[in-house]
Chain A
Amino acid sequence: MAPEFVESRRRAALEVYESQDVPTWRRSGFWTTSLRGLDIDTLEPKRYEPGLPELDLGDDEHSALIVQRGANVVHSDLNDDQIVVMPLEQAVEEHPELVAEYFGKRLPIEDDKFAAGTAAFWSGGVFIHVPKNVRVEKPIQVVWLIDEPGTVQWAHTLVVVGEHAEVRIREFFLGGDFEGQALHSGAFELYAESGAQVDLAHYQDWGRGDVYDLSTRRVDVGRDARVKWVPIHLGGHLTKQTLDIITAQPGSDMRHTGMYFTERDELLDLFTTDKHEAGHTTGDTVWKGALTGESRASYEGLIHILPGAPEVDTYLQTHQMLLSPKAKGDAIPSLIVEVDNVKASHGGTVGELDPEQIFYMMTRGISRAEAVRVLVEGYFEEVIMRLDDPGLEELVRRRISEKLAGAEDQVREFIGERAEGR
Chain B
Amino acid sequence: MTLEVQNLHVRTEDREILHGVDLVIRKGETHALMGPNGSGKSTLANTLMGNPTYEVTEGKIILNGEDLTEAGPDERARAGLFMAFQYPATIPGVSVANFLRMAVNAGRDEPIKVKEFGAMLKGHMELLKIDRAFTSRYLNEGFSGGEKKRAEILQLAMLQPDFAVLDETDSGLDIDALRIVSEGVNAMRGDERGFLIITHYTRILSYVRPEFVHILLDGRIVREGGAELADELEEKGYEFVREEVAASGA
Count of inter-chain pairs, beta carbons less than 8 A:
79
Is there an interface contact between B159 and A364, defined as CB atoms closer than 8 Å? Answer: yes
Give A344-401 interface residues, CB cut-off 8 Å to B: 354-357, 359-368, 370, 374-375, 377-382
Partner of A365 from the list B85, B88, B107, B138 (CB cut-off 8 Å) is: B107
**B13 in the interface (beta carbon within 8 A):** yes
Which residues of B have CB within 8 Å of A360?
Answer: 85, 88-89, 91
Q: How far is the CB of A272 from chain B (nearest CB, A)?
A: 23
CA gap between A143 and B72 in the complex, in Å: 46
Which residues of A have CB within 8 Å of B106?
Answer: 364-367, 370
Is there an interface contact between B155 and A357, defined as CB atoms closer than 8 Å? Answer: no
Is there an interface contact between B93 and A379, defined as CB atoms closer than 8 Å? Answer: yes
CA gap between A333 and B13 in the complex, in Å: 37
Q: How far is the CB of B134 from chain A (nearest CB, A)?
A: 17
Interface string of B38-81 (1 = CB under 8 A from A): 00000000000111110000000000000000001110111000
Which residues of B have CB within 8 Å of A361?
Answer: 89, 91
Is there an interface contact between A362 and B94, defined as CB atoms closer than 8 Å? Answer: no
Task: Given A419-B52, A422-B13, decide whether A366 and B103 contact each other with a Cβ distance below 8 A.
Answer: yes
Is there an interface contact between A359 and B73, defined as CB atoms closer than 8 Å? Answer: yes
CA gap between A361 and B88 in the complex, in Å: 10
Which residues of B have CB within 8 Å of A21?
Answer: none
Partner of A422 from the list B53, B83, B85, B93 (CB cut-off 8 Å) is: B53
Task: Given A355-B52, A419-B52, A422-B13, decide whether A363 and B83 contact each other with a Cβ distance below 8 A.
Answer: yes
Give B84-135 interface residues, CB cut-off 8 Å to A: 85, 88-94, 99, 102-103, 106-107
Residue of B nearest to A355 (CB): B52
Q: Considering only CB atoms and an 8 Å cut-off, how many residues of chain B contact the other chain?
A: 30
**B195 in the interface (beta carbon within 8 A):** no
Is there an interface contact between A365 and B91, defined as CB atoms closer than 8 Å? Answer: no
CA gap between A364 and B89 in the complex, in Å: 12
Partner of B52 from the list A354, A357, A359, A378 (CB cut-off 8 Å) is: A359
Q: Considering only CB atoms and an 8 Å cut-off, how many residues of chain A contact the other chain?
A: 26
CA gap between A380 and B94 in the complex, in Å: 11
Interface string of B130-167 (1 = CB under 8 A from A): 00000000100000000000000001000100000000
B76, B78, B91, B103, most chain A CB atoms within 10 A: B91
Q: How far is the CB of B115 from chain A (nearest CB, A)?
A: 22
Is there an interface contact between A382 and B51, defined as CB atoms closer than 8 Å? Answer: no
Which residues of A have CB within 8 Å of B74?
Answer: 362-368
Residue of B nearest to A367 (CB): B74
CA gap between A188 and B77 in the complex, in Å: 52
CA gap between A377 and B102 in the complex, in Å: 14
A365, A375, A380, most chain B CB atoms within 10 A: A365
CA gap between A420 and B52 in the complex, in Å: 7
Q: How far is the CB of A214 from chain B (nearest CB, A)?
A: 32
Is there an interface contact between B90 and A363, defined as CB atoms closer than 8 Å? Answer: no
Q: How far is the CB of A98 from chain B (nearest CB, A)?
A: 43
Is there an interface contact between A363 and B82, defined as CB atoms closer than 8 Å? Answer: yes
CA gap between A374 and B93 in the complex, in Å: 8
Residue of A nearest to B141 (CB): A378
Residue of A nearest to B77 (CB): A365
Which A-B residue pairs are the 10 nearest by beta carbons? A378-B93, A365-B106, A381-B93, A365-B77, A362-B73, A364-B103, A360-B89, A419-B52, A362-B74, A357-B89
